[in-house]
Structure 1
Amino acid sequence: MGFSWGYSRPGQLDDGQSAETIRRAYEAGVRHFDTSDMYAAGHNEELVGRALVGCPDAFVASKGGIVVDSVEPLSMHVDGTRAHLTDALEQSLRRLNRDHIDLYYLHRLDSEVPVQEQVQVLAEAQQAGKIRHIGVSEATVEQLAAAAEVAQIAAVQSELSVWTRDPLKPQEAKEGAEPLSVLDWCEKHGATLVAFSPLGRGYLTGKLDTSKLMEGDFRTWMPRFTPDAQERNAQIVEALERIANQRGVATSQIALAWVLGLSQSTAVIPGSRSLSHIESNRDAGTIRLTSEEMETITSLPEPVESRY
């Protein structure tokens, strides 16, 4: 289950209800909870920590490396220095109320700091027992190769869905090297590609009404959520709906099943605010699409407009 903070403004959601949703997700069988120190400037981690008290088998993932300078207007920068990453991890442990974090990502790589140096900080924390597994988010294949020189990379988080397929595309390689996609790299190196926004930020459910988005929801300024782009991208959702109707399942489940069907190395972290959606997302893992269904979805045209 993935968390974020871009779908509302601070104070619009009730903390008690949010914590209850997390707890009910756990009771429904969800065990992977993904957050970050930048979501609501750390408040999201506090909610996760509070909700998962007494849940020792919960697998908690968090991230560090992005500094929120201002919430309104939103302003942030990447800081991959040793000093910042060390402090960020300690603060996350405190907010999550845990003595270790199961999976800790570099949320974004700092272009001003060598990749190896950033990963080294996490490797040392891993040796100290503060991190169980190391991950990297939104990295190129070249950056992943550099990261793997220092430590075993257990997970790579990237946006992946029917309408964002960049992790499936081979990237330019050095002369003589085989071009690999991010998913190729994960399969080759035993890492899991953890797909965030696997439902296209809600669009692929076929039920999103953008007129009802909360004030401050970042989808209101995203290119793919303009009325024109949504109309032109409708064929993607319609194809998912046809398969869903044939199977008698939710459109969102087909979207998730496609990501999971790409490889044994893929996982999904969809977000949700209701128990019914949580259970639906959970059950998507039991759906096995046929090769024909996978090909039908994979061959759909690329979406109109950029993701940001």
Structure 2
Amino acid sequence: MLRTTLGDLDVSAQGLGCMGMSEYYGASDWDTSIATIQHAIDVGVTFFDTADQYGSGHNEVLLGRGVAGRRDDVQIATKFGIDRSSGDDRRVYRGDPPYVRRSCDASLLRLGVDHVDLYYLHRPPQNAEIEDAVGAMAELVAAGKVRHLGLSEVSAELLRRAHAVHPITAVQSEYSLWTREVEQVTPVMAELGIGLVPYAPLGRGFLTGSVQTATLHPDDFRARNPRFTGDAGQQNAVIADTVREVADRIGVLPAQVALAWVHSQADRLGVPVVPIPGTRHADRLDQNVASLDVGLDADALARLQPLSDMVTGGRYTDHGVR
């Protein structure tokens, strides 16, 4: 497994996003998920991503059980700040210092660890200034509960303000062949030495060409996602078709092409890029890891680069994953 650094945090060049093991993508199985986490460590994936809101804490408990006994071999990233306690239709993005401190302690308890390697503010707070939220997070670093700080889905201006309070190691944002808004922020990230951690690098599975909306589990939020459904879903199919055509030509899987493209952007953006594709199955994880060995030639890149301009539909429903 290749390694890279986010700031001075050494991580595997590709991580594992664990959200879908608890919520949003239909039914999952605890034992299968644990086995996948452990298999990931065995093949060299050591960077694991979770959040306190995934499954309302379930995902942190799951990840903690999965890495139990191997804590020194892994880097754990978790997130806080999305308060769903009043229901998803009344969620609040929080960053008030008492909430920051309580959230960290609760995450450590669920994970069963004494520190996390990377602690993200999940979204810019609605009830606090970014300086106050990051200041409270910096106190967690001083207390030894957190090693590095991150932000998720943040603007360039807020990133500068946060970094002035305490160094930010990574920004986590959705980034893939059909979602590239974070490229508006990466120049500041390059200037400040901050890495990019792309989530949903496979377009929530759409770019693999394997997602059939009509057969999705009722609890799978993609069945109501604007990009997957109706006319937008049909129009976006040409994007998945293009990825498949490139994959067929070079003899790999569409998912591997999509991930290889994300990896290939590091030099162009001038920042370390460590995607965290999610999966609940060991065989899919192996396929994703193999993308690190996939090279994209000039013709492939020329076909893939314009795809983000062809997307129809928003990333989320009104109360989707945030």
Determine if the TM-score, normalized by the shorter chain, exceeds 0.5. Answer: yes
Quick one: distance in 2 between partners of 1:90 and 1:125?
10
Corresponding residue for 2:165?
150
Cα deviation per residue 1:109-159 (whole Å; 9 max; x = unaligned)? 113311111111111111221111100001011110111111111100111
Question: Is residue 66 of structure 1 aligned with residue 82 of structure 2?
Answer: yes
Query: Following the alignment from structure 1 to structure 2, what is the Cα–Cα distance between the partners of residues 16 and 285?
Result: 27
Q: Which amino acid aligns with 1:7?
A: Y
Paired position in structure 2 for 1:167: 182
Look up the SS of the partner of 2:117 in the other structure: strand
Structure 2 residue runs without a partner (length 5+): 1-15, 317-322
Match of 1:252? 255
Q: 1:203 aligns with which of 199, 203, 206?
A: 206
Contact 1:261 1:294 in 2 (8 A): no
Match of 1:218 among 205, 218, 221: 221
Report how far residue 96 of structure 1 moved.
0.7
* 1:271 counterpart = 2:274: no
Describe the superposition over 1:172-209 as per-residue Cα deviations: whole angstroms up to 9, x where unpaired: xxxxxxxxx21222222111111000111110011112
Deviations 1:38-76 (A, max 9, x none): 0011110000001101112111100011112256x6652
Q: Which stretch shows the higher mean deviation, 20-29 or 137-146?
A: 20-29
Residue 156 of structure 2 aligns with an amino acid whose one-letter code is V
Structure 1 segments, 4+ long, off by >3 Å, are none
> Partner residue of 2:292?
285
CA gap 1:74/1:31 in 2 versus in 1, 3 angstroms: farther
Using the aligned pairs only, state the percent identity.
Answer: 38
State the superposition RMSD in angstroms.
Answer: 1.5
TM-score by length of 2: 0.87
Structure 1 residue 238: deviation in Å? 1.6
The answer to whether the aligner puts 1:133 opposite 2:148 as a matched pair is yes
Q: How many residues are aligned here?
A: 292
Query: 2:285 matched to 1:261?
Result: no
Q: Distance in 2 between matches of 1:92 and 1:298?
A: 38
How far 1:298 sits from its partner (Å)? Answer: 1.1
Q: Does 1:305 align with 2:313?
A: yes
Q: Which has the higher contact order (CA 8 A, sep 6+)?
A: 2
Mapped pair 1:7 → 2:25: yes
The answer as to whether partners of 1:19 and 1:50 remain within 8 angstroms in 2 is: yes
Matched, 1:27 2:45: no
AA paired with 1:6? Y
- Residue number in structure 2 paired with 1:295: 302
CA distance in 2, matches of 1:23, 1:210: 30
Given the superposition, is the C-alpha separation of residues 75 and 29 from structure 1 closer, same or farther in structure 2, using an over 3 Å criterion? farther
In structure 2, distance between residues paired with 1:157 and 1:44: 18
Which TM-score applies when normalising by structure 1?
0.91
Residue of structure 2 in register with 1:93 after alignment:
108
Q: How far apart in 2 are the matches of 1:295 and 1:166?
A: 19
